[in-house]
Structure 1
Amino acid sequence: MMSIETFSLYVLFCILAPLVGAFTLAFTMIFESRFDFLQNVASSSKLEKELQYAQYYQLNQRIKPHFFFNTLNTMLSLARLDRKTELISSLEVMSKFMRYNYQTNEKLVPIMDEVAYTNSYLEIQQLRFGNRVLVHQQIAEDTKNAYILPFVLQTMVENTFKHAFDKYPGPAVLKIIIYRKDSLLHMEVWNTHLKQSINDRDDFSREDGLGVANIRERLHLLFPDEPATFDMSYIGEEACARIIIPYRESSIL
């Protein structure tokens, strides 16, 4: 015969067992729901990141036809002036551009590669402008291992020719200054004509929109939570286009 104590424990077990089961089931459902939520968040974050990189590469591709169009115009001018030697040289330099463009698929590239690419562009322009445009470069030694966005330095230089040197005759100066300040890399392109061209052109922002908007959008996509800016400033008769990004010594963000 079952004692009262045993019977009491049996009744208690019968009462508690369903409650324990219900709590266990509820906990399991909550855990699974939270796990599914975290998985969805991770998937969403990954998808957003992949979308950002897809947008970045699309923007990166847009700038290439824009650049090639302007370069081909330069070579067309040489052909019309019957400057065959310069035209052949410009075609040789153009091959460097194409090789760089089709080999550059990284989000960040070595800064000296970008400098070499920009210098190739300057070679073509100086074939056309001769000694009228003087170019000075100051590249700090502690920046030569840095990684930057591809095509940004060349775009700033190209905009200077397009909106200033092409339009306004006479001697001009272009300065490229690259330096490091704390954890930030500064790239500056100074010129003596761009301020005047901006003041004289109401549609400057529309013409310049492709290159500048491209740079700003890529900065936003690659450094959404870090200091990265593109701006213009003026000191005296000079204008300066400046990009500031986090200093990196790797293409890994």
Structure 2
Amino acid sequence: MISYNVFSLSLMVSTLLPVAGFVIIILLSFFEKEVNILEIENRRVCLEHDLQQSQFMQLNQQIQPHFLFNTLNAITSLGRLGRLEDSVKAVENLSLFLRYNYMEKEPLVTFEKELKHTENYLCIQKTRFGEKLQTVIEIDSKARDTLLPPYTLQTLVENAFKHGLDKKTGQKFLKISLYRQGNWASLIVTDNGPELRIEEAFLSSGIGLKNLRKRLEMTFDMRTELKIQRKEEMTEASIVWPYTPEVKL
């Protein structure tokens, strides 16, 4: 004969089991939906990342013909002046310039690579202008190992010539400065070209500065800055980005 306690326990179990089963089914359905949502979100993030990488590579590809066009103009001017030896030297520098352009595919490169690449461009300009062009390079040893998007320095230097030094008569001055302030790196290109409106520099520079600003925003999650200002009859183009040292294995 079944006791009252056993009967009560059996009744409670038989009543709660369906309820518990129903709750478990609901929870399993909920977790399954959560997993599906996470999978969808993960796919979305991956697609956005792939799209961003694709856009970044497109920007890198756009910037190369832009520089090539301006460099070829400089070499053409040497030929028109009958400076054949200088033209040959400029073509040699251009070949090194192009080698960097078509081999470098990483989203970040060392500043040393950027500087060496830009020096090839400066050699062409020095051949073109001779002693009228003076260049100064100042590099903070604490910032030398930083990484930055490719063609960053080249963009600022090319902009200095296109909107300033090409229009400057007499002595031409260009200064490249790299500094580090805490967790931030700062790159400044200064020239003594004639004054220009800030809006004009961005609107008429084609893909140069606008391209660089977009690439900085896409590369770094933290604050970046790109600006041009006039200081004491000098034009100063500068960028600020998170200091990112090269990891040496």
TM-score norm. by structure 1 comes to 0.92
Q: Does the 8 Å contact 2:172/2:191 carry over to 1? A: yes
Aligned residue runs from structure 1 range 1-253, under 5 A: 1-194=1-194, 196-198=195-197, 203-224=200-221, 226-250=222-246
Alpha-carbon distance change, 251 to 198 in structure 1, aligned in 2, over 3 angstroms: farther
CA offset digits 1:10-42 (Å, max 9, x no partner): 322221111000011111111111122122222
What letter corresponds to residue 131 of structure 2 in structure 1? N
Q: Does the 8 Å contact 2:202/2:210 carry over to 1? A: no
CA offset digits 1:144-168 (Å, max 9, x no partner): 2111111010111111111111123
C-alpha displacement at 1:54, in angstroms? Answer: 1.5
RMSD: 1.8
C-alpha displacement at 1:133, in angstroms? Answer: 1.8
Q: Does the 8 Å contact 2:189/2:237 carry over to 1? A: yes
**Aligned residues between the structures:** 248
TM-score norm. by structure 2 comes to 0.94
CA distance in 1, matches of 2:206, 2:231: 23
CA distance in 1, matches of 2:136, 2:47: 44
CA offset digits 1:213-233 (Å, max 9, x no partner): 001100110113x12111112
CA distance in 1, matches of 2:28, 2:158: 62
CA distance in 1, matches of 2:166, 2:244: 34
CA offset digits 1:72-120 (Å, max 9, x no partner): 1111111111211011101111111111111111111010110011111
Unmatched tracts of structure 2, length 5 or more: none
Secondary structure of the residue that 1:233 maps to in structure 2?
A: strand
Unmatched tracts of structure 1, length 5 or more: none
Q: Relative to structure 2, which stretch is displaced further, 32-41 or 170-179?
A: 32-41
Q: Does the 8 Å contact 1:108/1:251 carry over to 2? A: no
CA distance in 2, matches of 1:210, 1:9: 79
CA offset digits 1:177-231 (Å, max 9, x no partner): 111111111100001115x1338xx85433214101001100110113x121111
CA distance in 1, matches of 2:161, 2:14: 88
Secondary structure of the residue that 1:33 maps to in structure 2?
A: helix
Q: Percent identity?
A: 34
Q: Does the 8 Å contact 2:165/2:191 carry over to 1? A: no
CA distance in 2, matches of 1:219, 1:245: 8
CA distance in 2, matches of 1:239, 1:97: 25
